[in-house]
């Protein structure tokens, strides 16, 4: 009887295995007599076996029914899709991280100097940094020892630095009390290699700065006298002041002012070549002067003037005067003139020349100038008569004397040449030679 019971139990267990039940033994006790759920290893093994066959299912009744099986399969499919999506994201993430790392790498590399020009620029910045660091320690923080470290590092790393005279002088001052022998070494190098600098002169003459300030004050007065003479075209007196200032107070703070004023006077008295030479000499001898840019502008203006003169020489006005003439008032762009004066001039013309049927109008000449054109006079003689009347005490522009303008008469043919040339001064000489009406 007991044997048959055991056989029935065995058959039932085989039937459960046929339906896919986990192949663990009876839940009442394990083969060794221990309760199944007391053994973590056995429980874990059973859970894994269940998941392998049935999937990860929620705890619910009738989980074996077909409807639940289908739902679980759909959920499993969605989970797989989600896993696939996550996997794709995981795959894309490293690529994104790699691009970011590459971008950071390129950013870092962009700041690394590779070319000689970039290295030179960086070295210049480092050189300036050491000099400024030394000055901060020396003058702001009063940390003299740290200042000496910065200064000496600058000299060792950049022996040709433009700050070398000043740094040598500061090291000389520092070592006068701490190490007189080293101070003498710095002083010797400074006075030997840079004898024209103020730092070398301060070592040779400690009162140099005070004496220099006094001399500069005296030279300033001499310069002012010379400039006043220059402004009234008394060039001989101006040159005399300049010569005295340079002889009595050589190498003063106003030396460059005196030299440039001398060049301006040469330009007025000795012509172009000497003027250009003096300007070039000034630019070469005073590269640190505050007047350097002005001197360069003066030199450039000489070339511009020559180009303008050559262009003016190429303009040929026609000396044929038996034709109609215009009256022209050329002025720098000014709204007051363009609004009021055309009417004033036309009224003036109708009053004094009523039979000429003259009309005034505005024309743009170039970017800086406009003109009032009064047209037209039947011949040169009538135009000359109007010109004389216009520039007399009855002139309609006498209330505009503060404005910058010029006026002239011109033949109809020559006006076309003048207007196309766009050079206001190009007609001056021709007008003076052929009309002789300058009041």
CATH assignment of the domain containing 258: 1.25.40.10
Residue 282 to residue 284: CA distance in whole angstroms: 5
Same domain (yes/no): 385, 298: no
Read off the pLDDT of residues 65-101 as tens digits, 9 standing for 90 and up. Answer: 545 555 555 555 555 555 445 444 444 445 578 888 8
**Cis before 376 (ω within 30):** yes
In this structure, is residue 332 part of a structural domain?
yes
Same domain (yes/no): 185, 166: yes
State the pLDDT confidence band at 310, using cuts at 50, 70 and 90: low
Rounded to whole angstroms, the maximal C-alpha distance in the chain is 160
In this structure, is residue 216 part of a structural domain?
yes
Bridge partners (DSSP) of residue 326 are: 410
Which of 288, 312, 336 finishes a domain?
A: 312
Same domain (yes/no): 295, 334: no
Q: What's the mean per-residue pLDDT of the chain?
A: 81
Same domain (yes/no): 275, 229: yes
In this structure, is residue 64 part of a structural domain?
no
Same domain (yes/no): 300, 348: no
Which of 177, 204, 231 finishes a domain?
A: 204
In this structure, is residue 61 part of a structural domain?
no
Same domain (yes/no): 146, 184: yes
The DSSP H or E segment spanning 236 is helix 235-248
Q: Using CB atoms within 10 A of its CB, is residue 293 exposed (0-12), middle (13-18) or buried (19+)?
A: exposed
In this structure, is residue 365 part of a structural domain?
yes
Same domain (yes/no): 219, 306: yes
Domain with residue 340: its CATH number is: 3.30.70
pLDDT attached to residue 37: 64
The DSSP H or E segment spanning 328 is strand 325-332
In this structure, is residue 122 part of a structural domain?
yes
Same domain (yes/no): 286, 213: yes
In this structure, is residue 185 part of a structural domain?
yes
Residue located via tokens 């590779």: 114
Selected residue with higher pLDDT from 311 and 226: 226
Residue located via tokens 């100038």: 369
Q: How many domains does the chain have?
A: 4
Selected residue with higher pLDDT from 27 and 216: 216
Same domain (yes/no): 186, 214: no
202-228 as b/e: b if 16+ CB within 10 A: bbeeeeeeeebeebeeebeebbebbbe
12 CA to centre of own chain: 94
Same domain (yes/no): 292, 364: no
Whole-model pTM above 0.85? no
SS3 state of residue 321: coil
Same domain (yes/no): 226, 294: yes
In this structure, is residue 24 part of a structural domain?
yes
Read off the pLDDT of residues 27-74 as tens digits, 9 standing for 90 and up. Answer: 444 445 556 666 777 777 777 777 777 776 666 666 555 455 555 555
Which of 286, 312, 338 finishes a domain?
A: 312
Selected residue with higher pLDDT from 423 and 222: 222
Lowest-pLDDT choice from 6-20, 138-152, 334-348 = 6-20
Domain containing 396: what range?
Answer: 325-435
Q: How far apart are the first and last CA of the chain?
A: 157
Same domain (yes/no): 247, 200: no
Residue 129: pLDDT over 90: yes
Cα–Cα distances in angstroms (integers) from residue 101 to residues 91, 107, 114, in the given order: 16, 10, 21
């Amino acid at each position: 009887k007991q044997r048959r019971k055991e056989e029935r139990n065995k058959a039932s267990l085989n039937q459960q295995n046929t339906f896919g039940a986990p192949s663990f033994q009876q839940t009442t006790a394990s083969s060794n007599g221990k309760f199944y759920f007391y053994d973590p290893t056995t429980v874990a093994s059973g859970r894994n076996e269940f998941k392998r066959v049935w999937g990860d299912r929620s705890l619910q009744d009738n989980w074996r029914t077909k409807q639940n099986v289908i739902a679980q399969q759909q959920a499993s499919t969605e989970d797989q899709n989600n896993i696939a999506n996550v996997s794709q994201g995981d795959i894309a993430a490293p690529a994104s991280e790699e691009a970011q790392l590459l971008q950071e790498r390129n950013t870092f590399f962009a700041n690394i100097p590779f070319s000689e020009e970039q290295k030179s620029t960086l070295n210049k910045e480092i050189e300036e940094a050491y000099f400024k660091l030394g000055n901060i320690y020396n003058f702001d923080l009063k940390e003299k020892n740290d200042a000496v470290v910065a200064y000496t590092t600058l000299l060792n790393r950049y022996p040709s630095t433009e700050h070398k005279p000043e740094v040598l002088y500061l090291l000389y001052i520092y070592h006068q009390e701490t190490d007189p022998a080293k101070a003498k070494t710095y002083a010797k190098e400074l006075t030997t290699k840079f004898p024209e600098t103020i730092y070398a002169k301060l070592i040779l003459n400690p009162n140099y700065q005070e004496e220099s300030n006094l001399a500069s004050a005296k030279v300033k007065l001499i310069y002012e006298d010379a400039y006043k003479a220059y402004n009234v075209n008394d060039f001989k007196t101006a040159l005399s002041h300049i010569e005295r200032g340079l002889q009595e107070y050589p190498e003063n703070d106003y030396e460059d002012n005196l030299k440039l004023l001398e060049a301006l006077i040469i330009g007025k008295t000795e012509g172009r070549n000497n003027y250009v030479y003096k300007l070039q000499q000034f630019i070469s001898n005073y590269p640190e002067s505050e007047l350097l840019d002005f001197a360069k502008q003066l030199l450039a203006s000489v070339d511009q003037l020559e180009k303008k003169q050559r262009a003016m020489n190429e303009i040929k006005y026609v000396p044929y005067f038996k034709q109609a003439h215009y009256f022209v008032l050329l002025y720098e762009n000014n709204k007051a003139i363009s609004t009021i004066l055309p009417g004033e001039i036309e009224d003036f013309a109708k009053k004094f020349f009523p039979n000429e049927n003259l009309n005034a109008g505005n024309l743009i000449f170039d970017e800086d100038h406009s003109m009032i054109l009064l047209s037209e006079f039947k011949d040169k003689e009538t135009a000359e008569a109007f010109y004389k009347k216009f520039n007399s005490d009855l002139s309609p522009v006498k209330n505009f004397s503060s404005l910058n303008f010029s006026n002239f008469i011109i033949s109809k043919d020559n006006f076309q040449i003048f207007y196309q040339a766009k050079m206001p001064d190009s007609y001056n000489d021709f007008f003076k030679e052929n009309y002789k009406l300058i009041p």
